[in-house]
Amino acid sequence: MPQGWEEIRAEVLTRIRTRRWPPGAVIPTEEALALEFDCARATVNRALRELAQTGMLERKRKAGTRVAMLPVRKATLDIPVIRQEVAAHGQVHAFRLLLQTTGVPPIAVAARLQLAAATPLLHLQTLHLADGRAYVLEDRWLNPAAAPQPLPDFSEISANEWLVAHVTFATGDIAFSAEPASTSEAAALSVAEGAALFITERCTWGPDAPITWVRLAHVPGYRLQTRL
Amino acid sequence: MPQGWEEIRAEVLTRIRTRRWPPGAVIPTEEALALEFDCARATVNRALRELAQTGMLERKRKAGTRVAMLPVRKATLDIPVIRQEVAAHGQVHAFRLLLQTTGVPPIAVAARLQLAAATPLLHLQTLHLADGRAYVLEDRWLNPAAAPQPLPDFSEISANEWLVAHVTFATGDIAFSAEPASTSEAAALSVAEGAALFITERCTWGPDAPITWVRLAHVPGYRLQTRL
DNA sequence: GAGTGGTCTAGACCACCTC
DNA sequence: AGGTGGTCTAGACCACTCT
């Protein structure tokens, strides 16, 4: 007899995986399961809610709970923080500020940030190193209006870490893709032009104004991995 | 005054984002917050637990709850099912089975599946089309021992959909990367050799045996996106 | 040792949705 | 209209871990 919501979750998961409750089937109500497992309905609710959150179950009031037709559709992904990511590999992290200017960003960047046209932003290019070798090339446009003055010396502190510590964050999105290395990217990362790079692109907004747009070009061989 | 765990979560999130509770700070105990918000401790617990799950808070018994030093570190992302993904774009999905043979997989594949050496697997290559144009090239090795006999005709039903509907799934992992198109991939996807392709690689295991290894090579321009 | 979060209970009311 | 999940409560005990 399972006890505790985790064991109940495991038991339900087993019944799904062994096809005792096949995809599409309606499973017993919370009340019935609470009776079977001899626990409170809230405990069953907790277990089933967690399974619904990962996409194994689909729940609707009155209609009941059914096993998803295509189970395992969601994964939680750790968004790596570069310094920690490098440290986790037992390597030494360092970075070099390649570029720091102010100017109007490309249309594509302004559009993603939903920025009024021709707003000047701070443009930073940073190369992150792991044990002295190129690891990630960071291309960032930063809205000074979103940050408290004065801005720090970004050759000493990473923009990402300073921002999360000092700027109020409201919302954001993140996208992953593959792109060929441009001439300048290839040079910075010491790879061939056109090499397949894993790209992470992030936008963040504050309560009132866009904060920053970042594009991380990862060195070939980079993998983003998670359990299902 | 917030009411309900969602409003409490929103209120706590606001206090974090406005830096009333800055990164690293310890926030009041559940009991204190329950008093302030005039609700049960379980309600506060629910709100704080959700925030901890997304990486905004770090919780430890006795030590209390503190705002994460680097907030927003986890994102949940939907693992797309190809047919639905294509349909979601309003396009027509179709697929062509390019290859179906049986043989011993490459060492790299066998290793990832933790497979005993020299086990013959079914090898499938499938090209998925969106509105008739190449969309994803699927390269799959499937363990017949993990599936109930007989196997279906994979030129009529997609291997993925048949598997989730008929094979007991236990665990798996998924990885994303960028790789240059090989000669055969380039031909199948109608792109230049060496073009940057977004790669999804998935391993799944049953309770007793490895089930399948899949590698999806997405056409250039593909983006995997999610909110933060 | 003591404070904090983690969990469970028994009951209740409500919102939603299918029937 | 009634059944189902969603949520809340007030209380309790436990597990962990910092001091």
* pLDDT tens track for A168-214: 888 899 999 999 999 999 999 999 999 999 999 999 998 889 999 99
User: Does residue B226 form part of some domain?
Assistant: no
Q: Write out which nucleotides of chain C lie closer than 7 A to a protein Cβ.
A: 2-12, 15-19
Which of residues A13 and A72 earns the better pLDDT score? A13
Task: Work out the mean pLDDT of chain A and round it to a whole number.
Answer: 92
CA A75 and chain centroid, separation: 11
CA A31 and chain centroid, separation: 37
Last residue of a domain, one of B37, B67, B97: B67
Instruction: Name A residues 48-107 whose Cβ lies under 7 Å from strand D.
Output: 48-49, 52, 59-65
Protein residue nearest nucleotide D5, by CA to C1': A61
Domain tally for chain A?
A: 2
- The span from the first CA to the last CA of chain B, in angstroms, equals 26
Q: Do residues A13 and A88 share a domain?
A: no
Q: Is the pLDDT of residue B77 over 90?
A: no
Contacts of A218 in chain B (CB under 8 A): 178
Q: Do residues B31 and B89 share a domain?
A: no
Protein residue nearest nucleotide D9, by CA to C1': B40
The CA radius of gyration of chain B, in Å to the nearest whole number, is 24
Last residue of a domain, one of A67, A94, A111: A67
Q: What's residue B213's pLDDT? A: 96
User: Does residue B76 form part of some domain?
Assistant: no
Contacts of B193 in chain A (CB under 8 A): none
Using the structure, give the distance in angstroms from the CA atom of A33 to the C1' atom of C5, rounded to a whole number: 27
Q: What's residue A178's pLDDT? A: 97
Share of chain B above pLDDT 90, in %: 70
Measured CA to C1', what is the nucleotide nearest A31?
Answer: D4
CB-based contact B225 A79, cutoff 8 Å: no
Q: Do residues B163 and B199 share a domain?
A: yes
How many CA atoms does the CB half-sphere of A94 hold within 13 Å?
A: 6
Confidence of residue B198 (pLDDT cuts 50, 70, 90): very high
Contacts of B227 in chain A (CB under 8 A): 171-173
Strand residues in B29-182 grouped as ranges (E)? 57-60, 64-67, 74-78, 93-103, 121-130, 133-142, 171-180
Q: What's residue A210's pLDDT? A: 94
Q: What is the mean pLDDT of residues B55-74?
A: 89
User: Does residue B75 form part of some domain?
Assistant: no
Q: Do residues B25 and B136 share a domain?
A: no
User: Does residue B77 form part of some domain?
Assistant: no
CB-based contact A71 B177, cutoff 8 Å: no
d(Cα A37, Cα B145) in Å, to the nearest integer?
34
Q: Is the pLDDT of residue B103 over 90?
A: yes
Q: Is the pLDDT of residue A13 over 90?
A: yes
Query: 């700070």: which residue's tokens?
Result: B25
Among residues B225, B216, B226, B213, the alpha carbon closest in space to that of B106 is found at: B213
From A178's Cα to the closest Cα of chain B, the distance in A is 5
Q: What's residue B80's pLDDT? A: 82
* Residue in A closest to B161 by C-alpha: A70
The C-alpha angle with vertex A183 and arms to A177 and A184, in degrees rounded to 5, equals 90
From A41's Cα to the closest Cα of chain B, the distance in A is 15
The CA radius of gyration of chain A, in Å to the nearest whole number, is 24
Contacts of A194 in chain B (CB under 8 A): 194, 196
Using the structure, give the distance in angstroms from the CA atom of A3 to the C1' atom of D9, rounded to a whole number: 23
d(Cα A145, Cα A210) in Å, to the nearest integer?
9
Q: Do residues B57 and B86 share a domain?
A: no
Q: Do residues B86 and B45 share a domain?
A: no
Contacts of A227 in chain B (CB under 8 A): 171-173
Mutate to test the interface with B, among A6, A177, A218, A223 (most CBs of B within 10 A): A177
CATH number of the domain where residue A160 is located: 3.40.1410.10
Confidence of residue B171 (pLDDT cuts 50, 70, 90): confident
Instruction: Name B residues 55-74 whose Cβ lies under 7 Å from strand D.
Output: 60-63
Contacts of A78 in chain B (CB under 8 A): 73-74
Share of chain A above pLDDT 90, in %: 70
Task: Work out the mean pLDDT of chain B and round it to a whole number.
Answer: 92
Count of positions (residues) in chain A: 228
Q: Do residues B212 and B99 share a domain?
A: yes
d(Cα B27, Cα B166) in Å, to the nearest integer?
48
Q: Do residues A27 and A87 share a domain?
A: no
Q: What's residue A107's pLDDT? A: 92
Query: 């968004």: which residue's tokens?
Result: A79
Confidence of residue B78 (pLDDT cuts 50, 70, 90): confident
Domain encompassing residue B202: 82-218
Q: Do residues A86 and A53 share a domain?
A: no
Confidence of residue B9 (pLDDT cuts 50, 70, 90): very high
What are A100's strand-pairing partners?
Answer: A124
The C-alpha angle with vertex A196 and arms to A194 and A202, in degrees rounded to 5, equals 110
Measured CA to C1', what is the nucleotide nearest A38?
Answer: C9
What CA dihedral angle connects B142, B146, B150 and B153, to 10 degrees?
Answer: -20
Using the structure, give the distance in angstroms from the CA atom of A5 to the C1' atom of C10, rounded to a whole number: 17
Q: What is the mean pLDDT of residues B153-174?
A: 88
Q: Where are the alpha helices (DSSP H) in chain A?
A: 5-17, 30-37, 41-53, 82-88, 107-112, 159-166, 183-189
Measured CA to C1', what is the nucleotide nearest A43?
Answer: C8
User: Does residue B164 form part of some domain?
Assistant: yes
CATH number of the domain where residue B42 is located: 1.10.10.10
Q: Is the pLDDT of residue B120 over 90?
A: yes
Using the structure, give the distance in angstroms from the CA atom of B60 to the C1' atom of C16, rounded to a whole number: 37
Amino acid identity at B102: T
User: Does residue B99 form part of some domain?
Assistant: yes
Torsional sign, CA B30, B33, B35, B39: negative
List Cβ neighbours of B111 (8 Å cut-off, separation of 6 or more).
Answer: none
Q: What's residue A84's pLDDT? A: 85
Protein residue nearest nucleotide D4, by CA to C1': A62
Whether the CB-CB separation of A160 and A83 falls below 8 Å is answered with no
Indicate if CB(B41) is under 7 A from strand D.
yes
Burial state string for A177-201 with b = 16 or more CB within 10 A and e = fewer than 16: bbbbbeeebbebbebeebbbbbbbb
Q: Do residues A14 and A118 share a domain?
A: no
Q: Do residues B129 and B170 share a domain?
A: yes
CA A169 and chain centroid, separation: 15
Protein residue nearest nucleotide D17, by CA to C1': B62
Q: Where are the alpha helices (DSSP H) in chain B?
A: 5-17, 30-37, 41-53, 82-88, 107-112, 159-166, 183-189
SS3 A72: coil
> Mean pLDDT: which of A88-92, B14-18, B100-104, B118-122 is highest?
B100-104
User: Does residue A50 form part of some domain?
Assistant: yes
* Residue in A closest to B199 by C-alpha: A178
pTM, 2 dp: 0.90
Whether the CB-CB separation of A214 and A139 falls below 8 Å is answered with yes
User: Does residue A228 form part of some domain?
Assistant: no
Confidence of residue B118 (pLDDT cuts 50, 70, 90): confident
d(Cα A75, Cα B75) in Å, to the nearest integer?
8
Whether the CB-CB separation of B95 and B129 falls below 8 Å is answered with yes
Q: Is the pLDDT of residue B71 over 80?
A: no
